[in-house]
Every structure is written in C-alpha cells, then in structure tokens.
Amino acid sequence: MTDDEVRPYVGKPVRLTLDDGRVLAGTLHEDQGHGHGHGHYTVVSDPVREGGQPVRETIHGAERITTIEDASDDPAAVE
C-alpha cells in the first residue's frame, strides 16, 4: 500500500495484514519524525496481560501493509 492509502486510518482502530502474513489489530499511529524515504506507523494494542503495558508494533513503510480495514467494531482493536 501507499502512505496516501494508509493515512486515512491514522488514529483509528484497524485490522491490517503485513507482507509477512501477520495480522495486527489496534489503533494506528503515524510517526513522521524519521525522514528517510518512507513513513513509519505503529499499531498499539491492548496489553497481553492484565495490568501490563500496551503492545506496540512499528511498521517501517506503508508498502509492508497489504490490507487494512476499519476495526472500530472490535473492542480488542480500540486503544
């Protein structure tokens, strides 16, 4: 995908598939502070253990994302 395709989902709960087949669900954030040719995105999900820290997965470039969809109906994807 491209940054233009991914950016409308920033700040929203999403379910996405990466180019390695992993599926992630959580709130999508964009980090524009790197400036080396591609955008960075982070998916933040609920903690694995109760009382734990949220899980963060950083994605280096929108081209790593093969599909993305709205997951606002999935309580596990809402940060």
Residue 78 lies in a domain: no
* Whether this model's pTM surpasses 0.85: yes
Measure the CA dihedral 66/19/23/32, to 10°: -70
Q: Which residues form the domain of 50? A: 3-73
Tell me if 79 is assigned to some domain. no
Written as six digits, the tokens of 54 are 């949220």
What total of structural domains would you count in the chain?
A: 1
Type of residue at 63: E
> What are the tens digits of pLDDT across the range 1-60?
999 999 999 999 999 999 999 999 999 999 876 566 678 999 999 888 999 999 999 999
**Does residue 48 belong to any structural domain of this protein?**
yes
